[in-house]
Amino acid sequence: MILAGVDIGNSTTEVCVASVDQNGQLEFLSSAAKVTTGTKGTVANVHGIKAALAEAMSKVGMGIHQLDLIRLNEAAPVIGDTAMETITETIITESSMIGHNPSTPAGAGQAVGQLLFIEHIHQAQPGIPYIVAASSEHPYEEVAALLNQYESSLQVEGLILQADEAVLVENRIHKKIPIIDEVRKITAVPEGKLAAIEVALSGQSIRMLSNPYGIATLLQLNAEETRLVTPIAKSLIGKRSAVVIKTPNGNVQENVLPAGEIYIQGDKNQTINVDEGAEKILEALQNAGQVWDISGQPNTNVGNMFSKIKTSMSEVSGENNQQIRVTDILAVDTLAPVAISGALAGETCMEKAVGIAAMVKTQQLPMQQIAEQLREELHTEVKVAGVEAIMASLGAMTTPGTELPLAILDMGGGSTDAAVLNQDGSVNITHQAGAGELVTMLIQTELGLNARSTAELIKRYPLAKVESLFHLRLENGEMQFFDESIDPRLFGHVILLTEDRFIRIDEEIPMEKIVQVRKEAKRKVFVTNAIRALGKVAVDHQIKNIGNVVLVGGSAEDFEIPEMLMEELANYRIVCGRGNIRGSEGPRNAVATGLVMSYVGEQK
């Protein structure tokens, strides 16, 4: 007979086709993978399943109609709608600061002076240092001419422009001063107030105004005032240029936002506020023991997130919201760019946030619907055959060099599964929320990317910087030279090194920062989840009792995640590495292979 194992993942649907003779001898014939269509565990998956089956059967010169049996994994839908809840916010009133990263500030250094609109420059008094502000109504020629006219009689220390004209003005003035441009709400700048301005050299970031004591030095603040400007200094870290304005009645606050409470129903019920951060949330989850359901405080951000998850799953399964249960979450501390209240140039500040991935209780109903739909369309026997983690363990056993007891980590797009297959045949399994999709979201959030597809590519591929038309610098510092010219459109840009081409990242973000955010996101999700999962399935919940771990699933193909896990698990004296399913498939196809193998075991 000819049978197929089908593994429906969050991102990819994988197929393994095999034949079994009358003596129960198993022969693997082919495999294939296609993008999962629809949400994992829903009828929309059927289209992707049929495409993967057709490809796998065509490799051995056969059609789908020649299949005698299709075995599906018991797919637990994992909601990757990982809410990003900001838990701090910088609020600045009465125009206390301007600080952003225009691409073309001009000049360099710091200056302190009284704010003065350029139309009032004839009212200025000699001997008083000024920082002049000019709206876009005043063209750069006029601004430069006025500054040159009053150069000998007035003490102009710096310039703030509404238009993107800093370099044009600098090229025309005799006295070189720091100039900031692209300040949209320039009319809200409070004239007459004392201000400190700073522009960093190209390739550097400001130093004085991103330091509370630097602000205190320039604006002559006392200890209490210095404490109040700390949130301003924090919000200016990494900026190329900035202005801080001393407003006696100004108010600077760093508020903690009520993101809401998470209610964990388990052996021991737990309540935890999102404000307390990811570590405390995961601690509460562990203290709850066996978890039956997780929900959020009504009418809060996190409450709305859980409500949306349950509503979307009720639409999938046909059950009402009360019957849908969230059985696991992964919380991750991160930073999210948030618009600063009271800022004048559309500035954002990296504020504390918590990302949460949630997993819905496995339901047989959606999988049975998929099986029935396939049975109807293909006229073939279809069976929902096994839990993912157990099937992955069986598939992982085909990796050369493995032996029982064997632990596996199956890292996919939406969930991280772990299992320990013992010598007596017993299996301990766990199925946890959070994997590749959460990493993508963290990268997009922390880098402030517009497109999720860009974050996905950053997660998958290493980076380089095109430094000339004939060479680029790799993220590890190595240089790569070319005989033929690189596309001139890539010059000076950070690019992604995919298998067949270079992809330019349009956002102007330093390569080093992208690398740092990418690695940190992977550690937060995969290393945290791996330790959490292995701790649940290990004997006596002691990770040190596990001898070896095989990494399977899509994320095991990543160019750096396996190495991160190897380094971490080496601390527990665990042998860890990528699986090589059937000695030929790499870390892919473990569940599909296990579904085929389990059929033979059942027959015996």
* 167, 37: one domain: no
Nearest Cα to Cα of residue 494 among 479, 481, 507: 507
Are 419 and 407 in contact by the 8 Å Cβ rule? The answer is: yes
Cα separation, 359 vs 532, whole angstroms: 15
Backbone angles phi, psi at 9, to 5 degrees: -105, 175
The reported pTM is: 0.75
Q: Report the CATH number at residue 275.
A: 3.90.470.30
Enumerate the H helices of 452-603 as residue ranges.
452-460, 511-522, 528-537, 561-570, 590-603
The sign of the torsion formed by the CA atoms of 539, 542, 543, 548 equals negative
Determine the distance from the C-alpha atom of residue 200 to the mean position of all C-alpha atoms in its chain, rounded to a whole number: 30
Residues forming beta bridges with residue 246, ordered by sequence position: 194
DSSP string spanning 330-387? EEEEEEEEEEPBT-SS--EEEEEEEEEEEEEPP-HHHHHHHHHHHHHHH-SEEEEEEE
Backbone angles phi, psi at 201, to 5 degrees: -65, 155
pLDDT at 351: 75
Nearest Cα to Cα of residue 292 among 324, 261, 317: 324
What strand order describes the sheet that includes 270-273? 270-273, 261-266, 291-296
Question: Is residue 320 assigned to a domain?
Answer: yes
Backbone angles phi, psi at 518, to 5 degrees: -60, -50
Are 410 and 591 in contact by the 8 Å Cβ rule? The answer is: yes
* 118, 33: one domain: no
pLDDT tens-digit readout, 350-387: 777 888 888 877 455 568 889 999 999 999 999 998 77
Nearest Cα to Cα of residue 347 among 172, 98, 536, 584: 98
Determine the distance from the C-alpha atom of residue 243 to the mean position of all C-alpha atoms in its chain, rounded to a whole number: 31
Question: Is residue 603 assigned to a domain?
Answer: yes
The domain tally of the chain equals 3
Residues forming beta bridges with residue 71, ordered by sequence position: 5, 383
* 304, 318: one domain: yes
* 46, 123: one domain: no
- CA distances 279 to 276, 414, 596, Å, are 8, 20, 40
* 102, 230: one domain: yes
* 69, 173: one domain: no
Question: Rounded to the nearest 5 degrees, what angle is found at the Cα of 306, between the Cα atoms of 300 and 310?
Answer: 140
Question: Is residue 549 assigned to a domain?
Answer: no
* Token pair 């946030």: residue: 353
Total residue length of the chain: 604
Q: What Rg do the C-alpha atoms of the chain give, in angstroms?
A: 30
- Tokens representing 205? 């970031």
Task: Domain of residue 167: give its range.
Answer: 94-250
The sign of the torsion formed by the CA atoms of 473, 475, 477, 480 equals negative
Nearest Cα to Cα of residue 587 among 548, 558, 547: 558
Using DSSP, state whether 595 is helix, strand or coil. Answer: helix
* 99, 244: one domain: yes
The sign of the torsion formed by the CA atoms of 182, 183, 186, 189 equals negative
pLDDT at 95: 44
Phi-psi group of 55: left, alpha or beta (phi > 0 → left; psi -120 to 50 → alpha; rest → beta):
alpha
CB atoms < 10 A from the CB of 302, how many?
25
Question: Is residue 234 assigned to a domain?
Answer: yes
| Residue 430 amino acid letter | T
Nearest Cα to Cα of residue 173 among 198, 193, 150: 150
Question: Is residue 578 assigned to a domain?
Answer: no
Cα separation, 443 vs 520, whole angstroms: 9
Q: Indicate the residue among 216, 250, 284 that finishes a domain.
A: 250
Question: Is residue 151 assigned to a domain?
Answer: yes
Are 45 and 447 in contact by the 8 Å Cβ rule? The answer is: no
Cα separation, 430 vs 406, whole angstroms: 14
* 114, 234: one domain: yes
In the chain, what is the straight-line distance between the N-terminal and C-terminal CA atoms, in Å? 15
Question: Is residue 563 assigned to a domain?
Answer: no
* 245, 135: one domain: yes
Instruction: Provide the 8-state DSSP code for 106.
Output: B
Using DSSP, state whether 199 is helix, strand or coil. Answer: strand
Prior bond of 405 cis (ω within 30°): yes
* 216, 108: one domain: yes
* Token pair 């020649």: residue: 66
pLDDT at 79: 56
Q: Indicate the residue among 340, 360, 380 that finishes a domain.
A: 360
Residue 122, C-beta contacts closer than 8 angstroms, at least 6 positions apart:
none
Exposed/middle/buried for residue 236 (C-beta within 10 Å: 0-12, 13-18, 19+): buried
Backbone angles phi, psi at 492, to 5 degrees: 80, 0
Question: Is residue 315 assigned to a domain?
Answer: yes
Cα separation, 420 vs 410, whole angstroms: 12
Q: Report the CATH number at residue 225.
A: 3.50.30.70
In which element (H, E) is residue 124 found? none
pLDDT at 435: 87
* 134, 175: one domain: yes
- Tokens representing 571? 């601390």
Residues forming beta bridges with residue 72, ordered by sequence position: 6, 384
Q: Indicate the residue among 360, 390, 413 that finishes a domain.
A: 360
* 24, 132: one domain: no
Please list the ranges in the chain whose pLDDT falls under 70: 75-97, 99-104, 248-258, 316-318, 340-348, 362-366, 604
pLDDT at 235: 76
Cα separation, 522 vs 290, whole angstroms: 27
| Residue 529 amino acid letter | N
